[in-house]
Structure 1
Amino acid sequence: MNRPPKGGDHGLTHCAIECRDLDRTIDFYRRFGGFDVVHRRPGIAWISDRTRPFAVVLVERDEVRPLGPFAHLGCACRNRSDFDRLIGAARAAGVLREGPHAGDGPAGTWAFLDDPDGNTFELSVGQAVGEAVGEAVEPTIVDDAPREGPVRRPVV
């Protein structure tokens, strides 16, 4: 995994979702996404697939507002056999909501699963997010100078 610079992170670092049962939700994301707990305290867990400095923050609550039906967390499988195995396991566990579908362009093949609280979790294979980001014509970062709105400048 790429290590963040000392002194703090930069860029997109996490997203947070609510859950009713932290242990059950951790088990779901471990089983279907390969996530590990990287930080835990009462009622909160940070989980990561450890491929980049990014975490999903799980917050235990009595009442939850799940992502969906389209808003989702997306996780790419290493290969088609891993994807097919996980889709079979999701179907057997009763958590496969939709798919698999063969998408257009960079979408690859994908399916939607329901986590224990109804949050939408996408499994995919063949998506080209890394390729699309890598081929962006002019990658930019936000300049920290105080101005009206964000000012973008090329990454050097």
Structure 2
Amino acid sequence: MHDIGWTHVALTTRDLRKSVAFYEQYADMHAVHERKDDGEKGTRVAWLTDARRAFVLVLIEEPADPGRLSGLTHLGIGCASRELVDQRLARAREEGLHTEGPHDSGYPVGYWAFIRDPDGHNLELSYGQEIGLTLARAGGE
């Protein structure tokens, strides 16, 4: 069976190990595939998942300055509670990571904050976003 539809997002990273550790800690993801590509560059790649759906975050090690998900551009992760958002935000601040929030934007956006990963990509942690309910109401799930 071949995957159809939305399957992954790929980001470049300067340090694959550091980025894998970040997404394990802040997004409850784990690596399901890692490789070093053949060729001169020998690019290292990891696929990470939260194992909730057939979707992965692909991290591609690129020593050059990678592009960034910055400003309002971000990856979004739903958390089980506001307290979990706050705990992860506090841990990120203790580790010296750039953060923004938390903010409570009400329905349907909910409670959210940004944590910047080691390469400057924004990860949004949220609680109360009703994406699944919105999809169900729209007949998309």
TM-score, length basis structure 2: 0.89
1:34 matched residue in structure 2: 28
Q: Does 1:23 align with 2:14?
A: no
Segments ≥4 residues shifted beyond 3 Å: none
TM superposition shift of 1:95 = 1.7
Q: How many residues align?
A: 133
Does the residue aligned with 1:106 lie in a helix, a strand or coil? Answer: coil
* Partner amino acid, structure 1, of 2:130: A
1:65-144 superposed matches below 5 A? 65-136=67-138, 138-139=139-140
Q: Does 1:61 align with 2:62?
A: yes
Larger mean Cα displacement after TM superposition, 19-28 or 102-111? 102-111
TM superposition shift of 1:78 = 1.0
Aligned-residue CA RMSD in angstroms? 1.3
Contact preservation (8 Å) 1:99, 1:111: yes
2:2 equivalent among 8, 13, 34: 8
2:47 matched residue in structure 1: 46
* Partner amino acid, structure 2, of 1:58: L
* Partner amino acid, structure 1, of 2:117: D
Does the residue aligned with 1:86 lie in a helix, a strand or coil? Answer: helix
Contact preservation (8 Å) 1:96, 1:111: no
TM superposition shift of 1:70 = 1.2
TM-score, length basis structure 1: 0.81
CA distance in 1, matches of 2:60, 2:99: 23
% identity of equivalent residues = 38
* Unpaired runs of at least 5, structure 1: 1-6, 140-154
CA deviation string 1:77-112 (max 9, x = no partner) = 112222221111112112242100001321111001
1:3 matched residue in structure 2: none
CA deviation string 1:26-63 (max 9, x = no partner) = 00000001100011002100001111110000000012
* Partner amino acid, structure 2, of 1:86: R
* Partner amino acid, structure 2, of 1:114: R
